[in-house]
Amino acid sequence: MHKVRLLTNSGFTGANAWFPLACDRGYFRDEEIDVEFVDGLGAFSAAGRMVKEGIEFGYGDFQALIEEAARKPVTSPVGVYMVMDRSPSVIVLPAGSQISSPAGLSGMTITAHAVDVGLNTFEQYASKAGLDPRSVRTVSNDGDWIALLNLLKEGKTDALFGYLSTVSAAIRASGKDVRSEVRFLKFKDVAQDLYGSALMVSPTFARDKPAVAKAFVRAINRGVLAAACDPDAAIQALINHAPDRPPQVDRLRLLETIEEDMGGWQTLAKGVGDIDRARMERLLKLSADSRKLPRQPAVDEVFTTAFLPLIDERRIGPDATSTAAGDAIEEDASCREGRLALAGSQSFTHSDKYGREP
């Protein structure tokens, strides 16, 4: 067995439920891989922590990887499987706020965790929105989400940065309705070149053990597609590993991650994992300019397709000629016939998408 470590964005939640699902279904074992999961402290911290601790694989924000590559090109991890095709970040406003565009943010105070992805990609968002980022005051606060949401409710901050799915889950877990509490300005509506979280590998491991790296990506891919095909199974696997998690809240969190962050049926049908090279070029320039990085990395420094499974193994849905399902997830072979029910299914939409459970 090949032993590897995977630094995750956090502990297991609905937003990464494909990891426990891949474990329970034996996808790593099938590849003769023994994986140790290391709980992360936020998606934006993953790339830097991989370098500092010598961890073989990580799952975290791609922007942080770009910045690591700009500063430490020799040791920076490389993206090998893009999970979130879109930025998951939002600006969280009170439900009664009249602000409907980025222009209204000028003069406001926005609070976030220091390693929040939205906080650390706000310059890119502001650049695309035509907003001077200096016109917005940002404040770091390490409180939990209940504390941050209370600051917003009490008027002690004008807005928050966060992930849509994370904020929504925190509100639902407190027994409240999302739409009655907050509104969102989504980064993906403005900074469309931003990506979200990706699987990344250390350059040393990629060079020394390419076959194992490819096998690991293959196992992760199977888990991601299986979770999309059968969210209930993914949540059951999550509960097997983290029994204190709230299953209904995490199920909606998984669905929102798939729909809002991964790109929903469109990404699943065309294939998960790869990037658009022209878009990446634009993102690298945007990041270097807006974040004032010491240099602009090349596309090949931050992402490689060398370890990706074939396209037909990375897509599911009506247009797929085969499925990672098929041999990989036999129990989900009905995905193509409608269990996944792309474009309007209850797998990806529900009656109150950002509110109560359906």
Pair 199, 185 in one domain: no
Pair 333, 260 in one domain: yes
**Closest listed residue to residue 312, CA positions, set 268, 271, 262, 263:** 271
Domain that holds residue 130: 89-189
pLDDT tens digit sequence for 82-128: 999 999 999 999 999 999 999 999 999 999 999 999 999 999 999 99
Pair 149, 178 in one domain: yes
Do the domain assignments include residue 302? yes
Q: Where is average pLDDT lowest: 176-180, 195-199, 317-321?
A: 317-321
Structural domains in the chain (count): 2
Assess whether pLDDT exceeds 90 at residue 36: yes
Assess whether pLDDT exceeds 50 at residue 340: no
Tell me the average pLDDT across 48-73.
98
Do the domain assignments include residue 243? yes
Q: What b/e sequence results for 221-235 when a residue is b if at least 16 CB atoms lie within 10 Å of its CB, and e otherwise?
A: bbbbbbbbbbbebbb
CATH code: domain of residue 96: 3.40.190.10
Pair 60, 203 in one domain: yes
Do the domain assignments include residue 154? yes
> Tokens at residue 110, please?
């926005």
The structure's pTM equals 0.90
Do the domain assignments include residue 351? no
Assess whether pLDDT exceeds 90 at residue 331: no
The Cα angle at residue 221 between residues 85 and 21, in degrees rounded to 5: 110
